Amino acid sequence: MYRWEITRAALEQRVIAIVRADSYEKATATADILLGAGITSLEISLTTPYALDAISTLRRETGDDSVIGAGTVLDSASARLAVDAGARYLVSPSLDEEVIRTGHRYGVPVFPGVATPTEMVRALELGADGLKLFPASLHGPGWLRDVTAALPQAPVLPTGGVTVDTAPEWIAAGAVACGMGSALTEGDDRETVAKRVTELLQRLEDAAPGKSKGTSD
């Protein structure tokens, strides 16, 4: 797939599930619950022990049914290792030119972290495929609405403190997707997570600009 095709697939549901755990077993178990609940785009944070192994396992087991990425990618070495492990996109809490360069060298989209309009413009100049607004808890949907009025070309992904209730507000304000971790998996019960994910996906669909209840593409 071309980079833009991977980006579109990763953002299609308007949510990227984030898995950050204290063990390989916990990470893969959590990912299994999320994927089983209907999530199609998921990132494994490199702060997780054996995160690269988890990425490889998930890629092998899910094939093209999901888009598995790597999160907390801080430098070019980590970016290359993540790509080699099978990550289809890279996410970082910071803006590092070499991470973007490495990802793009191997046809992988990169979503670097930004916190200001200046960083957003810089990331776009470096070719970022999406902009991770981090931490989103320091801002709000109103702030994003004001910023995207001036930068409508900025594909923003609020992450950090986004909840099931606030995610639709971010989408309505102009975000292309939201990054969500424990807000999705709280309770660690398959039935509970499945119900939460189903409700969230519908609310995000309804909140998308240009959408209204009862309409379809």
Is the bond preceding residue 152 a cis peptide, omega within 30 degrees? Answer: no
Catalytic residue flag (residue 213)? no
Residue-wise DSSP of 122-157? HHHHTT-SSEEETTGGGS-HHHHHHHHHH-TT--EE
Go through 22-34 and write b for each residue having 16 or more CB atoms within 10 A of its CB, e for each that does not.
eebebbbebbebb
Query: Which one is catalytic: 43, 125, 169, 205?
Result: 43
pLDDT score of 198: 94
pLDDT score of 209: 83
Asked if residue 216 belongs to a domain, the reply is: no
**pLDDT over threshold 70, residue 216:** no
pLDDT in tens, 61-74: 999 899 999 999 99
pLDDT score of 168: 97
Could you list the residue range(s) of the whole structural domain that residue 64 is in?
3-203
pLDDT in tens, 168-179: 999 999 999 999
pLDDT score of 212: 53
pLDDT score of 187: 76
Asked if residue 17 belongs to a domain, the reply is: yes
Do 42 and 69 meet the contact criterion of CB atoms below 8 Å apart?
yes
**pLDDT over threshold 50, residue 207:** yes
**pLDDT over threshold 70, residue 211:** no
Rounded Cα–Cα distance for residues 124 and 110 (Å): 11
Query: Which one is catalytic: 12, 98, 125, 132?
Result: 132
**pLDDT over threshold 50, residue 215:** no
Q: Which residue has the higher pLDDT, 94 or 190?
A: 94
pLDDT score of 93: 97
Domain count, the chain: 1
Mean pLDDT of the chain: 94
What is the value of pTM for the model shown?
0.94
pLDDT score of 210: 77
Do 54 and 30 meet the contact criterion of CB atoms below 8 Å apart?
no
Asked if residue 215 belongs to a domain, the reply is: no
Asked if residue 184 belongs to a domain, the reply is: yes
pLDDT (mean) for 92-114:
98
Catalytic residue flag (residue 43)? yes
pLDDT in tens, 131-179: 999 999 999 999 999 999 999 999 999 999 999 999 999 999 999 999 9
Asked if residue 213 belongs to a domain, the reply is: no
pLDDT (mean) for 35-44:
96
**pLDDT over threshold 80, residue 203:** yes
**pLDDT over threshold 90, residue 111:** yes
Tokens of residue 170, six digits: 């971010």
